[in-house]
Amino acid sequence: MPTILITSPSDDPPKTYARYYLRLFAEKAAEEGHHVVIVREPLLGNFEDAIAKYNPRFVILNGHGGRKGVTGADYHVILGVKGYDPELRVQIVAQNPELMKGRIVYLLSCFSGKELAPKLVRYGARAVAGYTSAFIFLSENSADKDIRSRQFFTAALQLPLLLIKGREFGVGCTAVRNAFLNYVEEAEEKGNFLMAKYLYFDYLNFKCFGYMRAKI
């Protein structure tokens, strides 16, 4: 079965939440027979080494994102294109979008769907999903006991959950949008309009690029 590579640092609270849900996804992917590699402290060197070693068909990057790059541990950019990134407040002087050539990519990070995602497709990625603005979620307590964050990540992870079952990329993208809208409706029915607002915000900013019939 093809390899899935996940970058999942946990050096601040948002990334710690994401790691919890990505670990649950990794367990399901392994149950489906996929080989899953998690880079827990991703820096540029070990990320590039992992790509070369495992040659993953599907890559999920979680970290802080900007329109031109995504960070790993310690706010180091591990995937990006040249130029000044106003969201990350960094000048990216060397780029590596060709690393994603031939792969399906999910940029589970803020703003990276704005410019980086479509550029990855131009450099040969098969299909890429990302968010054109901040990926916002509400939280309380810890991730394993937090009902508020669960809906945001459950919706966001519909794409990889369907991909590991052999479904097409475009089908997974539609499932993400439908899940966000379903949770918006539930929140509104309960009078939780703040929850509905941010779920709808993520729905609006989730974008998909590339070959919609791609499978892993």
Residue-range domain boundaries for the chain? 3-210
pTM, two decimals, is: 0.95
Contact 102, 126 (CB under 8 A): yes
Domain covering 3-210 in this structure, CATH number: 3.40.50
Residue 145 — very low, low, confident or very high, per pLDDT cuts 50/70/90?
low
Place of tokens 């890559």: 59
Pick the more confident residue, 142 or 67. 67
pLDDT at 146: 67
Residue 144 — very low, low, confident or very high, per pLDDT cuts 50/70/90?
low
pLDDT at 142: 61
Averaged pLDDT for residues 101-122: 98
Averaged pLDDT for residues 186-197: 96
DSSP 106-157: EEESSSTTTTHHHHHHHTT-SEEEEESS-------S-GGG-HHHHHHHHHHT
Place of tokens 């959950």: 161
Specify whether the backbone of 130 is left (phi greater than 0), alpha (psi in -120 to 50) or beta.
beta
